[in-house]
Structure 1
Amino acid sequence: MVREGGCLCGAVRFKCEGEPVNVRVCHCRNCQRAMGSPFFARALFEQSAITIEGETARYSSSDLLDRVFCRRCGTRLFAWRKAGTMAGVALAAFDDRNAFVPTAHTWVSEKMDWVRLDDGLPQYPKIAP
């Protein structure tokens, strides 16, 4: 299966082939700052399964991740692992924004106080096992 998506202005388009390794919502402080949102809802794919067209830019947000975004409109699209083969793809950037449903919340120890998690999904204080 191939799922497609892109940025707000349309300058960047991507395709993800196959199924994601997992689909999670991260509440860590780095994701909050990087996304400008209370959390980062993402599908984790092998980097080799992702094809990107258009000009992107990267910001090294930690020793582990580059945040990848559209150069033109700034839409945040990926959390690209520097060492390894995985990348988190923003769920809202897919053309079918309901294509994937999260299965867990991670880093809830850093979630914003007013965020209520009543969806019944597992919650992990830090990373999921």
Structure 2
Amino acid sequence: MIREGGCLCGAVRFKAVGDPVNVRVCHCRNCQKAMGSPFFARALFDQSALTVEGETGRYPSSEALDRVFCKVCGTRLFAWRKIGTMAGVALAAFDDRNEFTPTDHMWVSEKMAWVKLEDGLPQHAKTAP
């Protein structure tokens, strides 16, 4: 199965082939700052399953991750692992934003105090196992 998505202005489009490895919501401080929101809801794909068209920029947000965004409108699209072969794709960037449902929350030790997690999903203080 192929799922497609892109940025706000349409300058960047992507395709994801197959199913994600996992779908999680990350509440870590780096994701909060990088996304400009309380958390980063993402589907994790092998980088080889993704094709990207259009000009993107990268910001090295940590030793492990580059944040990939549209150079035109600034939409944050991916958390691209520098070590390993995975990339987190922002759920809201998919054309069908309801295609995937998260299965758990990670880094809840850093979640914003006013965020209430009442969805019944497993919560992990740090990274998920």
TM-score range, shorter chain: over 0.9
Tell me the equivalent position of 1:5: 5
d(CA) in 2 for partners of 1:46 and 1:112? 29
Structure 2 residue runs of 5 or longer lacking an equivalent are none
Corresponding residue of 2:128:
128
Superposed counterparts of 1:60-99, under 5 Å: 60-99=60-99
What pairs up with 1:1-129 in 2 under 5 angstroms? Answer: 1-129=1-129
- Which letter does structure 1 place at the counterpart of 2:119? D
CA RMSD of aligned residues (A): 0.2
Structure 1 Cα separation of the partners of residues 128 and 75 of structure 2: 27
State the TM-score, normalizing by the size of structure 1.
Answer: 1.00
Aligned-partner Cα distance in 2 for 1:63–1:15: 26
Percentage identity across paired residues of the two chains: 81
CA distance in 2, matches of 1:117, 1:50: 30
**What is the Cα deviation at residue 54 of structure 1?**
0.2
TM-score by structure 2 length? 1.00
State the 1:40 CA deviation. Answer: 0.1
Partner-residue secondary structure (3-state), 1:119: coil
Aligned residue pairs, count: 129
